[in-house]
């Protein structure tokens, strides 16, 4: 008998049923929620595949690192880039004066924003471009902690996906959805604050913390940003949401925060909308490794 290789969650289910159960529960939670937090991202399957293809956690691969750097330089038109495992704040502390462009990275890629001239910029790959957790330092010169080869592979793939023709179109869709959500909330009488270069709108509210908790009751996940409630569109756009869904979301948010929506009805509408755009396939229960005759 020859065992056929299995991959992804199927392999995990065959080797560690307990962990697979927890992963599946987390997937189900994400599947029935609408994540509008700017930290939320949907990792493209090929990014995960690139990371999983390198199963060792050793020193960085020079060739993979150079490929990732070349793609970053191409996309952001910078003259130098460093890829590091440090957070943007940690990288900024090493560099000195920097600008964090995590919020405006999509705007830079689409031409709606510019990199700061003669200055160092940092961006978080996971929140800005849907990649693994790593930081790009554009124009940096300081020494930074290295990134393991599997993460570098994911960064290289995510940069190619983000800076190619399809990725730029996707970036425009994210920004367009943010504009549509902002427009619809304003039409409903809500005060919002937004720049054309960012993938979110800030909803003005008396208590942002309370607003985020209230939306979480119906599985709409948002984040406080000072006195505003920040509503990001990157994750939902990558799931397939478009202008029509932004209109529905604005109505749900407005009604629920305004007290005119019933918990059961609003929660059911959120679930219906979320299930129209599934995240990715995952096997529902542990399985045993498959075998076929040799």
CATH code of the domain containing 120: 3.40.640.10
Question: Which pTM does this prediction carry?
Answer: 0.85
Confidence (pLDDT) at 92: 92
- How far is Cα 47 from Cα 44, in angstroms, rounded to an integer? 5
* Segments forming the whole domain that contains residue 137: 46-163
Average pLDDT, integer, range 259-264: 87
Same domain, 157 and 82: yes
For residue 100, being part of any structural domain is answered with yes
- Of residues 289 and 208, which shows the higher confidence score? 208
CATH code of the domain containing 232: 3.90.1150.10
Average pLDDT, integer, range 105-113: 93
Average pLDDT, integer, range 96-125: 90
For residue 291, being part of any structural domain is answered with no
Q: What letter does residue 226 receive in the DSSP assignment?
A: T
Q: How many domains does the chain fold into?
A: 2
Average pLDDT, integer, range 22-49: 81
For residue 200, give the H/E element and its range: strand 200-204
Same domain, 128 and 203: no
**Cβ contact 31:236 at 8 Å:** no
- How far is Cα 102 from Cα 137, in angstroms, rounded to an integer? 11
* Residue 2 CA neighbour count, 13 Å, CB half: 4
- Of residues 289 and 225, which shows the higher confidence score? 225
Q: Is 78 left (phi over 0), alpha (psi -120 to 50) or beta?
A: beta
Average pLDDT, integer, range 50-65: 73
Same domain, 54 and 33: no
Same domain, 65 and 158: yes
């Amino acid at each position: 008998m020859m065992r056929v290789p299995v991959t992804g969650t199927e392999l995990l289910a065959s080797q560690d049923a307990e962990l697979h159960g927890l992963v599946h529960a987390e997937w189900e939670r994400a599947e029935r929620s609408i994540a509008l937090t700017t930290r939320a991202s949907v990792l493209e399957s090929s990014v995960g595949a690139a990371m999983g293809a390198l199963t060792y956690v050793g020193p960085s691969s020079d060739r993979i690192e150079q490929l990732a750097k070349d793609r970053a330089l191409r996309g952001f038109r910078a003259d130098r880039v460093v890829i590091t495992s440090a957070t943007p704040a940690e990288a900024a502390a090493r560099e000195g004066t920097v600008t964090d462009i995590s919020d405006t990275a999509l705007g830079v890629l689409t031409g709606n924003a510019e990199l700061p001239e003669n200055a160092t910029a940092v961006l978080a790959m996971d929140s800005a471009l849907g990649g693994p957790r790593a930081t790009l330092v554009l124009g940096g010169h300081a020494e930074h902690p290295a990134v393991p080869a599997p993460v570098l592979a994911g960064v290289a793939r995510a940069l190619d996906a983000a800076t190619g023709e399809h990725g730029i179109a996707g970036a425009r869709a994210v920004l367009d959805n943010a504009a549509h959500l902002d427009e619809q909330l304003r039409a409903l009488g809500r005060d919002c604050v937004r720049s054309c270069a960012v993938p979110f709108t800030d909803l003005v509210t008396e208590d942002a913390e309370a607003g985020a908790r209230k939306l979480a009751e119906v599985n709409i996940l948002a984040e406080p940003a000072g006195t505003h409630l920040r509503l990001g569109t990157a994750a939902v756009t990558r799931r397939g949401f478009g202008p029509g869904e932004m209109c529905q979301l604005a109505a749900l948010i407005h009604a629920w925060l305004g007290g005119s929506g019933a918990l059961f009805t609003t929660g059911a509408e959120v679930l219906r909308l979320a299930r129209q755009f599934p995240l990715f396939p995952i096997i529902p229960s542990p399985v045993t490794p498959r075998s076929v005759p040799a």
